Amino acid sequence: MVEPRAMLDVKLIRERPDFVKAELAKVQAPASLVDDVLDADRARREALRSLEDKRAERTRRSKEIGALPPGERKSAGASLKSLAEAIEAGEAEAAVAESRFEEAMLLVPNLPHEGVPVGSDDSENRVVRVVGEQKSFDFEPKPHWEIGPALGAIDFERGVKISGSRFYVLMGEGARLQRAVISFMLDLHVREHGYVEVYPPAMVKRECLVGTGNLPKFGDALYRDAEEDFWWVPTAEVPVTNLYRDEILEPGRLPIRHVAYSPCFRREKMSAGRDVRGIKRGHQFDKVELVKFVEPSQSDAELDSLLAAAEKVCERLGLAWRVVQMCTGDLSFTAAIKYDVEVWAPGCKEWLEVSSCSNFRDFQARRANIRYRPAAGAKPELVHTLNGSGLALPRVVIALLETYQQADGSVQLPPALVPFFGGDGRLSAA
């Protein structure tokens, strides 16, 4: 039997379609999504019911035949031939109805959390707070695409030569800086925030991407193998969230908090021509990701602490940052509520998004079938999942290079990084 996968509870759509439509309007999604689901649901249930009636009949009569003496079975069975054929036809019909229903369900986005301000697009997002000092310079600060090559830390030309546009090579102290930042962030989250470290596969099967909500709708953002069902992950959120796919977590397991370092791969088709300068947006980048699995009653509080963990990285690195809350119109397909963390890059003079902290509530859990048992013997319920970067790498490197650049062209790293980078924490031209 096909397992219906839904982002929303079908029952909610069935019983309160007008409410769902109104909520979808807030996230700029059309009401027709609900009607499509309703139509498909009706057709599917009708098909299923008629099929099950036939199967019940067959089971009953087959048992009668089984009770007969062997010699009489064959002739008795002959009369059931047409019923068997009807069942076969009914199965095909039900399968079609089922997949139509599933397709419709998978295209419905998550509903917004009650606390999210209603707005139509990113212009209505709210800056929640601005923290830290936007460093001032007694010289004109340079953008990282000048600092990096001057230090021999970033090689754009060779990146393009070997892999094409949106690729770059980190060299020498640039590569070491990135490695230091990764180690620093992993250590911080593991040792101080209690996350359990995970090193996940960077290639996954398609069903993982359905689970997290990247498929079926956003396949054009992803790379995949041409011959096999391998997809490069766009974020560690995908493999880590799917760690517990199709599992029932026993009492006491929650909350689960994971931190994972992984490379990430994105086609960036939608942003063609944008952010092509520097290392802000590449087809491949590294990221340290935080992922949580929690009981529903805890997910609001867990989002707060997730956000705090991401902000702690900025604080320790001495960067200026701000937190922006997405309005309903700018929520992602999967998030019920979302905050972005942006760091200030004084060279290119931009706020760079380094983390999106989201509570998906049971949206991903339903798609990925991740449940927990509230108590021994109790019925399984869907967990809530959350995630956010802690943080995304190249942009942190940008902010570090630009914030800590010196008049002589060198870069003096903040104290928190020195033990990881080594030496006196200084990058300078060879």
Our finding on whether 89 is near RNA (CB under 7 A) is no
Dist. CA 242–CA 210, nearest whole Å: 10
The yes or no reply on residue 380 touching RNA (CB under 7 A) is yes
Which pair of tokens denotes residue 363?
């949206």
Handedness of CA 98, 102, 105, 107 (dihedral sign): negative
- Options 18, 69, 71, 78; binder of RNA; rule CB under 7 A: 78
Q: Which residues contact 224 (CB under 8 A, 6 or more apart)?
A: 230, 231, 232
Residue 379 interacting with RNA (CB under 7 A): yes
80 binds RNA (CB under 7 A): yes
Contact status, residue 268 vs residue 281, Cβ threshold 8 Å: yes
Cβ neighbors of 16 (< 8 A, separation 6 or more) are: none
Query: Catalytic: which of 166, 257, 266, 371?
Result: 266
Cα gap 390→356, rounded to integer Å:
9
Is 353 annotated as catalytic?
A: yes
Helix axes of 32-67 and 70-78: crossing angle, nearest 10 degrees: 140
Q: Which is nearer to RNA, 273 or 377 (CB)?
A: 377
Q: Is 342 helix (H, G, I), strand (E, B) or coil?
A: strand
Residue 58 beta carbon to RNA: minimum distance, rounded to whole angstroms: 5
Which single residue is written with the structure tokens 């369900």? Answer: 105
Residue 45 contacts RNA per CB under 7 A: yes
Amino acid (1-letter code) at residue 124: E
Catalytic: which of 353, 381, 410, 426? 353
Stretch that binds RNA, among 73-81, 270-278, 287-295, 346-354 (CB under 7 A): 73-81
Structure tokens at 355: 């983390």
- Distance, first Cα to last Cα, the chain: 65
| Signed CA dihedral, 219, 220, 221, 227: sign only | positive
Q: Is 356 annotated as catalytic?
A: yes
Shortest distance, position 45 Cβ to RNA, whole Å: 5
5 vs 21 by CB, closer to RNA = 5
Q: Under the criterion CB under 7 A, does residue 49 sit at the interface with RNA?
A: yes
- Interaction between residue 203 and RNA (CB under 7 A): no
Question: Toward RNA, which CB reaches closer, 4 or 409?
Answer: 4
Residue 73 in contact with RNA, rule: CB under 7 A: yes
Measured distance CA(11)–CA(108) in Å, rounded = 14
Does the active-site annotation cover 100?
no
Kindly determine how many residues on this chain lie close enough to bind RNA according to the rule CB under 7 A.
36
Among 2-10, 108-116, 181-189, 279-287, the segment contacting RNA (CB under 7 A): 2-10
Query: Is 176 among the residues known to form the active site?
Result: no
Least distance CB 81 / RNA (angstroms): 4
311 an active-site residue?
A: no
User: Both tokens of residue 78?
Assistant: 């002959």
From the list 150-158, 161-169, 370-378, 403-411, the region that binds RNA by CB under 7 A is 370-378
Tell me: does residue 253 bind RNA (CB under 7 A).
Answer: no
In 132-226, beta strands by DSSP E: 154-155, 169-170, 196-198, 203-204
Active site residues: 266, 281, 353, 356, 395
Contacts to RNA by CB under 7 A: 1, 3-4, 10, 45, 48-49, 52-53, 55-56, 58-63, 65-67, 70, 73-74, 77-78, 80-81, 83-84, 87, 248, 371, 376-377, 379-380
